[in-house]
Amino acid sequence: MYLLLLAFAPIVVIILYIYFKDKYDKEPKRLLFYSFLLGAIVSIIVTTIIYFGFDIALPLKDKFSVPQLFIKAFLVVGLTEEFSKYIIVRYFVQPKKAFDEPFDGIMYAVMVSMGFAATENIFYVIEGGYVTGILRAFTAVPAHATFGILMGYFMGKAKFSKNRFKLNLIGLLLAVTFHGFYDFFLFLDFIPGIWVGAFLSLILGIILSNKAIKKHQEDSHFNPANDL
């Protein structure tokens, strides 16, 4: 029970943080919950299926091959996981009437990402224990949140743009890029100290995420300041 609480705690904190950053037009709680649930179940299923496909079509067995680990980080893990989240935001949430301002892209992408992270975190924490849970609370879970924010920023812009396809794709590729670099540095654990690269990519992701949140807050057409 305590391990489950430890696994869920950072998820809840991040969701509440982003929810209260949505200042001007709160989203329907039911749709937020459905987004979380789809991330926790559907995204995980999609990811698992694609992983099996990669294991058959592109087996990467050498744990000391930098090129193979690069492909694994960006293509197998980064693209697969972010794509599994992207399709839910793109085809389930983005068409909804409740998705009525750019910030909603961030809100819903984070909900889907936190659903994915919740399921993933439960398995890791139950297997690894308290140390793993505490470590992931400050690394992997915030990382998933930043990937979601960066993707959601552009998907929020896309909803109200004629260049919807382009902006949605930019959001997906940006999330994949940050996810890829984060995992790539962690996969190179046989090179002493290179894990710092993952930490630095996370810090950069957090900085950009905060800027993305502020930008959509300022530009919201529900922001009273924009009526002046």
Which residue in 70, 61, 56, 90 sits closest to 191, CA to CA? 70
Q: Which residues contact 149 (CB under 8 A, 6 or more apart)?
A: 18, 106, 109, 110, 209, 212, 213
- Judge residue 52's burial from the number of C-beta atoms within 10 Å of its C-beta, 0-12 exposed, 13-18 middle, 19 or more buried: exposed
pLDDT value of residue 50: 96
pLDDT value of residue 228: 60
Decide if 82 contacts 172 (C-beta within 8 A).
Answer: yes
Total structural domains in the chain?
Answer: 1
* DSSP conformation class of 174: H
pTM across the whole model = 0.95
Q: Which two tokens stand for residue 224?
A: 């009273």
pLDDT value of residue 59: 86
Q: What count of residues does the chain have?
A: 228
Low-confidence ranges of the chain (pLDDT < 50): none
pLDDT digits (tens, 9 = 90+) for 147-157: 999 999 999 99
* DSSP conformation class of 163: -
Q: Is residue 153 part of a domain?
A: yes
Q: Is residue 225 part of a domain?
A: no
Q: Is residue 162 part of a domain?
A: yes
- Checking 88-91 for CB contacts under 8 A at 24+ apart, the result is 88/35, 88/38, 88/39, 88/42, 88/43, 88/112, 89/35, 89/151, 89/152, 89/155, 90/155, 90/168
Q: Write out the residue range of the structural domain in which residue 14 sits.
A: 2-220
Q: Which residues contact 67 (CB under 8 A, 6 or more apart)?
A: none
